[in-house]
Structure 1
Amino acid sequence: MLKKTFFFLILVSSLVCLFSLAQVRAQGINLDAVSSADTGPDLLNSLTFSHTVGADTNRLLIVGVSIQNPDAGDTVASVTYGGTNLTNVGARSRGIFARTEIWSLVAPATGTYDVVVTLSGTNTASFAAGGISFTGVNQTSPLGSFFSAAGRGTTPSVNVRNVNEGEVVIDTVARNSVNPITAGSGQTPQWNRATSRGGTADVIGASSTEPGPDGGGRVTMDWASTGNDRWAIGAVAIKPANPTAVKLVSFGATKHDAGTLLTWKTGFEVNNLGFHVYREENGELLRLTPDVIAGSALLAGSGTSLGAGRSYHWWDLSSLSSQPSGLGAVRYWLEDIDLNGKRTWHGPVMLSVTGKPLPKTVKPEFLSELGVRLDEQYDQYWRVHDLKEKLKRNPLLMKGKGALGSRITPAYAKPASAGNSLKAGTSVGTQSSLVSQSLPSSQSSSLVATMQQLLAGRPSVKLTIKEQGWYRVTQPELVAAGLNPGVNPRYLQLYVDGAEQPILVRGEGDGRFDPQDAIEFYGVGLDTLSTDARVYWLVEGTKPGKRIKVYEGKGAPLGISSFPFAVEKRDRTIYFAALKNGESSNFFGSIVAGGPVNQLLNLPHPDAASSGQASLEVALQGVTRAPHRVKVFLNEVEVGEVVFEGQSLGIGQWAVPQSLLLEGENLVTLVPEGGALDVSLVDVIRLTYWHTYGADDDLLRFTVDRPGQLLIEGFSDSRIRVVDITDPPKIQEIMGKVNTGGSGFTLSLTVNGSGSHALYAFTEGRIKSPA
């Protein structure tokens, strides 16, 4: 027999990812396309050339213009791309000899279109122009400040200040000459054109780009040429769609007797999903981390920096004895990943040596482990293990491979945030049955407000209800809460949301509210972002209050053995503040990333004889701005997949055989198939199946679709009661006949009235008290 000892292993030297250093690069602002033209030997008023913009996202088009303007009146009146006007970023002139201008267009249309540069009025001149399109650019604030300079000589230059890491500086230079011009060190030339009119009427224009420095700072854009000619230059920084996710303060690797400790600290984080650690040997990288070490993306808001930073570590316990020099050939790299899939590399760092023993450190928290305590991981591991052993004996698993479920239109809806519609029994972090309930909706908001004010001004007892159920409050409890002991019990009234609710008042027949008396009623809590508590008010009215009617029905047996019953798992353990979710909740359950994620659902009393279909519904919230494809398995059988994009809500719902279900725990497995950036959160898993008319721990919320007689089994107490909660303002109690059956008690009752009915059966021991 397998001994149930659970180990959390620190992964060492597992070959997860192997590739060349040449493949390592950061993703941010990318060059899309370059085009240019000049007026040649002519003096023109406009210049037209074609430019092709690719289909990548977050696009920006920059057009630079270099003019030789002998009358100092030749300025650019307009620049268009496919008929769409560009916006002037800035311009600079050197007297009547040279002028440069930069124009921009956010989100240019994809495809090939004409760029048309038109001078003011009817002026003509020698000029050159070039278009450069980029992707990965901030669409709200794409550019920094415009900087420019002008002068005479061989080295045009301009300083661009306050350039952030991850930004790209672009310039355009104009020189009243045809002498070749060369971009400075660190700059990448993009276009370079000279007119050919001859003499002093020519201009050479050019453009280049340079990335912002590590840590940010100043960027100098300069050019070199010959001759003492006039020049003008302008430059601007382009901002990335998403800023650098991590600003690293320190990163080091220390060799100890039993392994290598890698530590790093961030001074700044924004949208940081987490980290991977790599070891470099002989020019190849070995990924050491089996999963992403969790960053701050699920702690801080979207675009919100974690200014104080965080500290992280990882142990590399692999042997280095196979290396000739022991240490010299080994280096370590760190990769951070943001919510957009951008990967930024840090390092490498070399080993330093210490003879000290391994210091005590806390195990790193992987992305897939967020929100799960160690004891919970231990418990679930063995529950899943035992369940899988049991499932191996399920004959349905032998019916072939492939998806077993048939997709149906999802009926998913977010939980009610306020108002009248509630899902009874839903509670944060638990599994529970769902029976749709309604509170009175006939009251207008103004009437409700008026009633609440009237109640607040009268002597009353406040009763706080947090969950669905049958409640009893005794006379001593009510008197202790402020009720007048001399009250006439017939005039007791119960209100919620301004509407009176029917109640039972035990002992009201004699007109006195004695210590042995009590009130009873059906109550429902709230399920909103701010509270789970609903307030009921008990007052002494001026007329007899509404009472719950009791009846004993008569009718023929219904001949049915089960009814649709829903169990859901809606954990709320992780707060995803980076999600712009409006008024809906930002709390979710388990992270789906890297590998299979197991979720357990407890199904009481499934009807093994039912020929009906069950329904499985899965709702996932995207974390990364990437495509998501998650396969869904029920009890080791594939039923379908949830496919969605970015930070949207992905929903899948499938019909599955009732015979696939087990009494007790059932296993739902979610397997991300969209690659390393396929990261999502479980919003809700709901399974609707055919439940026998058997009580679950002396309680049953159930439905019948027509009037008639039925039998409820499985009670441990003979004091069984049933109320019809179909219409809460008109709740009725149904009398039935209790018998001994099997190992407990049964209740035979008859439901009257047409249409579907929602009923609530319970024993004396399941009666609740207000919070």
Structure 2
Amino acid sequence: MKTAVSLTLIVFSVLILSGNLDAQKAKSLASSVDTQKSNGLVSGTLAATGAKSTRFENVGAVSDGRSTWLTWQMEVEIGNIGFNVYRVGRRGAELLTPVRIVQGAALQASEIPSYGDSYFFYDETGTVSSSYYVETIGMNGQRIASQTIYPRYVPSLSAATGITDEQMRNTTFRPTRLETETPVFTKDIRTEMEQYRQLADGSTHRMVISQPGVARIGVKREGLYRVTSAQLMAAGFDVTSNSANWQLYIEGVEQAIIVGPAAAYIEFYGRGTDTRETDIRQYYLMNGSSAGKRMGEWVAHPNTSTVLSRSYSQTFVKKERTQYVEDIFNGQAENYYGRAVTTNPNAPAMTFDLTGIDFGSANSTMQLRFQGYVGGAHLIEVILNGETLAPVMGSAQENFTADYTIPTSFLREGSNSIKFRAMGSASDFVFFDTMKIGFNRIFLAQANTLNFYTQNYRATQIGGFTSPNIRIFDITRDGNPLLMTNLTVVPHGPTFGIDMPAERGRSFFAVEDSAILAADSVTRNNPELVGIPTNAADLVIISYKDFMPQAEAWAEYRRAEHFNVKVVEVSELYDEFNFGALSADAVKNFLRYTYENWQTAPRYVLIIGDASWDSRNYENTGNWNFVTPEMVPTIYSETASDDALADFNNDGLAEMAVGRVAARTATEVNTIFTKTVNWESSLSSTSLAQRGALFAHDFNNGYTFDVMSQRLANQLPAGTPSTFVFRGETDANTNLITAMNTGKYIVNYSGHGTAGSWGGNPLFFNVNSVVTTTDHSPSVYTMLTCLNGYYHWLYFPSIAEVLMNTPNKGAVVTWASSAKTLPNFQEDMATRFYTKIGDGDIPRIGDLIRDAKTQVIGADLRYSWGLLGDPMLKVR
């Protein structure tokens, strides 16, 4: 399940960190962390003034002597991009967030005020004698420091905080290495490569994946792969079959392979992919009815040329993907960027390694790409290995670049560094995106591989391998590598190389045996095709593979009501509709196909599995994007939408009723299924009248939420018992939980909110408050606020998820938004919803929601308001 597993983006008050918790409240992280009231000390030249400035509420820390856990809560944030965390020692203040800041409320809400948000940071080398302070980064250039934080000693951080040691270690940022080296081919080679580039064959691909016993082989990197017969057998492939007929396909095109002696393994040249959703490309091995394609051999002729190639042209690419920023609108491009670039003169340099630099080449090239965030002009200082280059210029939220021609002498063999600093106004703030360095490279192996090309009729000497077990493949023609033979390995001191004779220029890959890659996955393929018109279903269940038993149980439950149900494991959709690559488009295209072609088009879609904005696991917290949603733009930000997967005419209104069980474990799926069954078994025509409704509401800050709540209550049948709880009343949290404990039929909140709390104040109601309620009959929850349905949050569960995943209490379904929306439109939808649920003529929750969304016209509002739970749930 989602737990505290990252240091950033804790802007939604998931944790209660105020330090003044009532005794009745459940154990939370902050209950054992001493907090100190902080007035906000200004470290820059702009002082915080009045209610228009960011202010700290309190700060605190605990340490077991080996590491330290810091927490802080903000009274208010206005335009606060994020935080730097400093540890103060004998040598002064050390920045602990050089690559990834702790992101603040502005990255979700721009300059809209945010109240009560809470944050944490784990210092894995901090001690009791360490001291700290936290510094805000304002969009206006303001830097506000907290008071000094002195940790309190505790024997065990885990016991003191309720968070395991492993979870704390996971919060330490360990970025994924995103560096590639690609040859820049000559015109002749490029022309031939394009001539033989393979095009996807959809019909052949469908034939392949429909065969029994096919193994799926996933790869991320470019190189030579080996898959053993044991791996293939574990994936259901018949390794006793005639290996001469083994055939490997990618996107419906057969690839040449090597089959090892006694069919002990196969080898193939593989390449990953690079999309916003995945870097894994799927290959498919089948046992065909005819001979499979095998790698040929090219016998090298003796060298007759005295002309020797000195080097080849290469582009080194380094990306950073450390910050997810949802309020940058960039179309289909990903919203991940690298380190923040500010006016901080002490920001550390970015380091990278280059090898094999040909210093005999006078010049090299470099391109830098940045993503602007704040408005106005950007001017970025660039210092490469101590050499100051021309500054990079950009504007506002542009993605901007600068191209350089630099002396090759500016580069270093081995470790290099480049430093960025904003030179403009104090408020300047951009993100680093990508660096490309083009240079001539000698034929020197790196990590026992070399991806290179030769020039027409020039001999080539490659070297730097650690053993003589070297093979060279001609990879010029896509999918048809040739193994070079008749080559002699030459020792060069402690290393080895090969002298290649002069031939026409070709693209080559050389590899020493220890550098042969293992596949990222080898799995069984399901041969059943779902994209066939003879299928029919009232309900389609799309499940993550680990939850298929639970999905089948859910299907049987609905079948017992005489509904036709089809269960599909989500990787089948990726296989059939996107050549195996994870993609929201694959899910959408499948649903579109069912809508347009199945004999009975589904009316309901139940998704079983969680989602995450970090589909590629950049942050190394785990692959939690089990069933990927569609990422859609709204007025304020990008967000996840399941309804968009079933909208086929782009009006924002799904053609099917969609719900999601946002679970990370089978236990959570079982919990929600049990609550669904129990709800429906106890449902009667008098449930609403007997159990009544609860309306919680916020202060009238920008909208009359009290009047809104009363108007919604008036839509219910006369005499429906309704309880109202106002955030500002005495003992509001106690009164709210007491009312919840009575097991209301329906619960509504109206007001301001975050992903983890109501009212922008975690002491009113938050994810930890759920556990303080006693067991009771679950309720239908409608949450007319922002972000309560932010289920794709990487680090923590949203309040909607916690209400769903908590056994024997909480919610049977929740209807909430994954984005920021305006309360007047929220009320328009809710008025229709409460009217119809009161009338009782629309019995199922998914249909009620689809009907309610017809009352608003904004696609972003329709998309972002999502249902967690079963869309077929009977509510009347």
TM-score normalized by the length of structure 1:
0.48
TM-score (normalizing by structure 2): 0.43
Between structure 1 and structure 2, the one with the greater Rg is 1
Flag the structure with higher helix content: 2
